C-alpha cells in the first residue's frame, strides 16, 4: 500500500514536471516570437529613415537560434541616444501598465471620461484674437537636457497661471522617469476645472496609450515621427478621431516632414527645434522646414503648424511666426518664471490675457 502511494506521488510529480517544462518552452517560444517581431518592426522603421530602434531592451532571448550577427550586434544592448533610451523604457512601462489595465477595462473607463474639448479650434481662435501664434504652454517640471526647471512645482497652480496669462492650450508632461511628470498631474489639472484643452505630452508607442490618455482627461496627444513608422501614425490618427482626440504630429527634419505630409487627415504638425537625439536646439529649424514647397502644401491644406522648443523672447516668437507657424509650444522660458502667467506676457512682449 505504501509503495503504491509513493509511486502515485512520483508519477504526479513527473507529469507536473513535464507540464512545467512545456509551459516554459511555450513562454520561451513566445519571447522569441516577440523579439523577432521587434526586429522586423525595426527593419520597417529603418526603411523609412527612422533611426530609433523599437527592439525591447532585453535583447534576444537566451536560447535564440538566429543569424549569428544578430546576437553579436545586440551584445551590450545599449541605447544609442536619449530618445532611444526613453522609448525602450517606455516599452517596458507600457507593457506593465497594460497588464494591470487591459484595453477592455480601459474601454469601460471611457464611459466616465470627461468630454474632449476642441484643441485645434482653441489654437485658431487664439491666433485670430491676438494676431500672434496661439500658445500651448507646457507644464514641465524637469527635462533630461535642462534638469529641474521649477522647484516647489505645483502643476495645478502653474496650469491656472498659464490660463490666466492667456494660453490657448496646455501641454502636460506625463513621463515620470525623464521629465518628472505624471498622469496624475494631467488628471488633477483637468479636474481643477482648467478650461484650456490639454495635450498629453507622452512618448506614445502603443495605441493603448491613446485610450489611457483619454481616460485621464487629455484632449490631444503627441505622435513623434522620429519614433513611429507611417503605418503606426495612420492607425493612431484613426483611433484619435474615434476618441475625439486631436493629434499633434511632431517632426524634426525634412524627411520626417515629408513622411507626415504623405499621410491623410493630418491637421496639426509640430516642428521641434530640439533634436531629441542630441538635444541641440536651433529655432532656424522651423524656418528651414517651412521654406518652399512644404510651406505651400501646409497652407493649401490649412494645416496648423506649431513651432516647438527653444522660444524665449518676443523676437523668437516673431521669427517663427514669420516662418509660418500659427501656434507655439513653450515650456522652459515660462515655467521658470515666478509667475508663469507673467512669463507669457514677457514671452510675447505684451499682455495676451483675456481680461
Ligand atoms: O522647454 P522648451 O524648450 O520651451 O520646449 C517645450 C517643448 O517643445 C518640449 O518640451 C518638447 C517638444 N517635443 C517633445 C517631445 C517629448 C518631450 C518634450 C518635448
| Nearest C-alpha neighbor of 248 from the set 275, 276, 220, 272 | 220
Ligand 1 centroid, distance to 329 Cα (angstroms): 7
Q: Give the distance (Å) from ligand 1 centre to CA of residue 215.
A: 23
Strand pairing report for 268-272 and 304-308: parallel
Quick one: pLDDT band at residue 23, thresholds 50, 70, 90?
confident
pTM of the model: 0.87
Alpha-carbon Rg for the chain in angstroms:
24
pLDDT digits (tens, 9 = 90+) for 138-147: 999 999 999 9
Ligand 1 atom with the smallest distance to the CA of 274 is: 12
Distance 138 CA to ligand 1 centre (A): 8
Alpha carbon of 38 to ligand 1 centroid (Å): 27
The stretch 9-24 carries a mean pLDDT of: 59
Answer for the pair 133, 319: CB distance below 8 angstroms, yes or no: no
Mean per-residue pLDDT over the chain, rounded: 90
Strands 198-201 and 147-148: unpaired
Mean pLDDT of 208-234: 97
Question: Ligand 1 site: residues with CB under 6 angstroms?
Answer: 138, 140, 201, 250, 272, 308-311, 329-333
* Position 160 pLDDT exceeds 50: yes
Ligand 1, atom 5: closest residue by C-alpha: 309
pLDDT band at 157 (very low <50, low <70, confident <90, very high): very high
- The 3 state secondary structure assigned to 320-340 is HHHHCCCEEEECHHHHCCCCH
User: Which band of pLDDT confidence, cut at 50, 70 and 90, is reported for residue 43?
Assistant: confident
Residue partners of 159: CB distance under 8 A and separation at least 6: 139, 170, 172, 189, 192, 194, 196
Report DSSP letters for 6-56, one per residue: HHHHHHHHHHHHHHHHHHHHHHHHHHHHHHHHHHHHHHHHHHTT-----S-
Whole-number Å distance between alpha carbons of 285 and 270: 11
Among 81, 90, 143, say which to mutate for ligand 1: greatest number of ligand atoms within 8 Å of CB.
143
pLDDT digits (tens, 9 = 90+) for 225-264: 999 999 999 999 999 999 999 999 999 999 999 999 999 9
How close is the Cα of 93 to the center of ligand 1, in Å? 21
In this structure, the strands spanning 142-143 and 147-148 are: antiparallel
What integer pLDDT is reported at residue 288 of this predicted model? 98
- Sign (positive/negative) of CA torsion 83, 86, 89, 91? negative
| Spacing, Cα 161 to ligand 1 middle (Å) | 19
Give, using CA atoms, the residue closest to atom 8 of ligand 1. 309
Are 137 and 167 in contact, with CB atoms under 8 Å apart?
yes
CB 77 within 8 A of CB 58: yes
What atom in ligand 1 is closest to the CA of residue 179? 17
Quote the CA–CA distance of 159 and 186 in Å, as a whole number.
10
Weakest mean pLDDT among 44-48, 75-79, 171-175, 331-335: 75-79
Q: What is the pLDDT of residue 143?
A: 96
If pLDDT is split at 50, 70 and 90, which confidence band does 77 have? low
Q: What end-to-end distance do the CA atoms of the chain give, in Å? A: 93
* Residue from 339, 329, 336 nearest 119 by CA: 329
Q: How far is the CA of 53 from the centre of ligand 1 (A)?
A: 21
To test the ligand 1 pocket, which listed residue (223, 308, 313) has its Cβ within 8 A of the most ligand atoms? 308
pLDDT at 121: 98
**Cα–ligand 1 centroid distance for 15 (angstroms):** 57
What pLDDT shows up at residue 2?
Answer: 42
pLDDT score of 133 more than 60: yes
**Backbone CA torsion sign across 87, 91, 96, 97:** positive
Q: Give the residue, by CA position, lying nearest to ligand 1 atom 18.
A: 201
User: Does pLDDT of 207 surpass 90?
Assistant: yes
Atom 9 (ligand 1): residue with closest C-alpha? 309
Quick check: 194 pLDDT over 90?
A: yes
Which ligand 1 atom sits nearest the alpha carbon of residue 335?
A: 1
pLDDT score recorded for residue 52: 85
Amino acid at each position: 500500500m505504501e509503495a503504491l502511494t509513493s509511486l502515485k506521488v512520483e508519477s504526479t510529480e513527473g507529469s507536473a514536471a513535464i507540464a512545467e517544462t512545456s509551459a516554459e518552452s511555450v513562454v520561451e517560444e513566445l519571447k522569441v516570437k516577440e523579439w523577432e517581431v521587434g526586429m522586423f518592426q525595426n527593419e520597417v522603421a529603418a526603411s523609412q529613415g527612422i533611426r530609433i530602434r523599437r527592439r525591447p531592451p532585453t535583447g534576444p532571448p537566451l536560447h535564440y537560434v538566429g543569424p549569428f550577427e544578430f546576437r553579436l550586434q545586440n551584445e551590450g544592448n545599449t541605447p544609442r541616444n536619449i530618445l532611444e533610451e526613453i522609448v525602450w523604457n517606455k516599452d517596458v512601462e507600457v507593457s506593465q501598465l497594460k497588464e494591470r489595465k487591459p484595453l477592455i477595462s480601459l474601454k469601460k473607463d471611457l464611459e466616465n471620461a470627461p468630454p474632449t474639448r476642441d484643441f485645434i479650434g482653441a489654437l485658431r481662435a487664439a491666433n485670430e484674437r491676438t494676431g500672434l501664434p496661439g500658445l500651448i504652454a507646457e507644464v514641465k517640471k524637469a527635462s533630461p537636457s535642462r534638469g529641474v526647471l521649477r522647484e516647489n512645482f505645483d502643476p495645478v497652480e502653474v496650469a491656472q497661471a498659464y490660463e490666466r496669462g492667456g494660453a490657448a492650450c496646455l501641454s502636460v508632461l506625463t513621463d515620470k522617469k525623464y521629465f518628472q511628470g505624471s498622469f496624475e498631474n494631467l488628471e488633477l489639472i483637468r479636474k481643477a476645472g482648467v478650461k484650456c484643452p490639454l495635450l498629453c505630452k507622452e512618448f506614445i508607442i502603443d495605441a493603448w496609450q491613446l485610450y489611457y490618455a483619454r481616460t485621464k482627461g487629455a484632449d490631444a496627444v503627441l505622435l513623434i515621427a522620429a519614433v513611429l513608422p507611417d503605418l503606426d501614425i495612420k492607425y493612431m490618427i484613426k483611433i484619435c478621431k474615434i476618441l475625439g482626440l486631436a493629434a499633434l504630429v511632431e517632426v524634426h527634419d525634412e524627411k520626417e516632414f515629408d513622411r507626415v505630409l504623405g499621410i491623410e487627415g493630418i491637421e496639426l504638425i509640430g516642428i521641434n527645434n530640439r533634436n531629441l537625439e542630441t538635444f541641440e536646439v536651433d529655432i532656424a529649424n522651423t524656418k528651414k522646414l517651412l521654406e518652399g514647397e512644404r510651406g505651400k502644401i501646409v497652407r493649401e491644406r490649412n494645416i496648423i503648424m506649431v513651432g516647438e522648443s527653444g522660444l524665449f523672447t518676443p523676437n523668437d516668437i516673431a521669427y517663427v511666426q514669420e516662418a509660418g507657424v500659427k501656434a507655439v509650444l513653450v515650456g522652459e522660458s515660462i515655467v521658470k518664471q515666478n509667475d508663469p502667467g507673467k512669463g507669457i506676457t514677457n514671452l510675447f512682449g505684451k499682455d495676451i490675457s483675456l481680461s
